[in-house]
Amino acid sequence: MPTVLVTGCAGFIGSHLCERLLADGFRVCGLDNFDAFYPREIKQQNLSSLLSHPNFVFAELDLRQGVEALNEAFADEAPEVVVHLAAKAGVGPSVKEPVAYLDNNVVGTTYLLEWMRRNKIERLLFASSSSVYGNTLNRPFREDEPLLASCISPYAASKLAGEQLTYTYHHLYRLSVLNARFFTVYGPRQRPDLAIHKFIRLLRNGQPIPVFGDGSTARDYTYVADTVDGIVRGVNYLLAHSQVYETVNLGNNRPVPLLALIEAIGKAVGVAPELQFQAMQAGDVDVTYADISKAQQLLGYNPTTSLEAGLLEFVNWLDAVPAPAQV
């Protein structure tokens, strides 16, 4: 029974991933610092079904506490793979708090990598982001796109810096790495600050939906179960290979314009949206669009959930959760 350490395990993607890994027969060590970016109650709800599982252990820990804190938390564990999801997330907030984002995402990642090196843990799946592509004009985005001048937000810069760190540890210390670039993940448990969650809440409260720009910006929305399937395939790839360094896009390969997304959300909720046009937000990119051919070839990754089906799943979940998760 392989053991996987999941950082950020109480978050949106992390909690889904832990459930899937446990269902697949893995032992899972979870770590989360309950960052105050959104209410702790939501993350505790995400963890609720995991804490009673016999093959799940949890530590409340901030990676910036350092190597010794990690040693103490997982003294009795020997993970074969680390999935590093923990990070301060969000492009817009990072524009307002760049130091906090770089401190958390870059320094925290460095401590994790150093703990892995010292404990001879040799496999890492690093959660990166489509934001590293910025406004590159080459679409769909390919993993070999030059990215030196692409980042237009501190969040994007922190994720690209994370990829550079993983390469450094691969080069110097023979760490096997799979960098997975996520593309606008949505679905049950999505963070309340993200567009789909926010728009549904506004519609149900009879409030207008803010449209930043002219509505033509587009995102490659990817349902959480498809993203998680790609991560699990990545974990299995790392377990089957040594001395590898790869980067893959885990997107849906179908950009959806903002106005089309809002129309689809309106249909899922059964409310006609009222739009309120506003200026573009600093740091936002025009389009995200994943070329997923490498992930298909390397991992057998194949997203299957349509936007319409995914939105209905999200709405059904939102109807069923206790009130704090709808804040």
Catalytic residues: 155
Residue 57 has which token pair? 């252990």
- Answer yes or no: are the C-beta atoms of 201 and 269 closer than 8 Å: no
- 256, containing H or E segment: strand 256-257
Please choose, from the candidates 256, 258, 254, 261, the residue with its C-alpha nearest in 3D space to the C-alpha of residue 280.
258
Cis peptide before 188 (omega within 30 of 0): no
- 129, containing H or E segment: strand 123-129
- 203, containing H or E segment: helix 195-204
Q: Tell me, what DSSP letter sits at residue 104? A: I
CA distance 89 to 93: 8
Partners of 5 in the beta sheet?
Answer: 29, 82
Residue with tokens 């377990």: 239
Partners of 279 in the beta sheet?
Answer: none
Positive or negative CA dihedral for 42, 46, 51, 55? negative
Residues in the chain: 327
Backbone angles phi, psi at 7, to 5 degrees: -85, 145
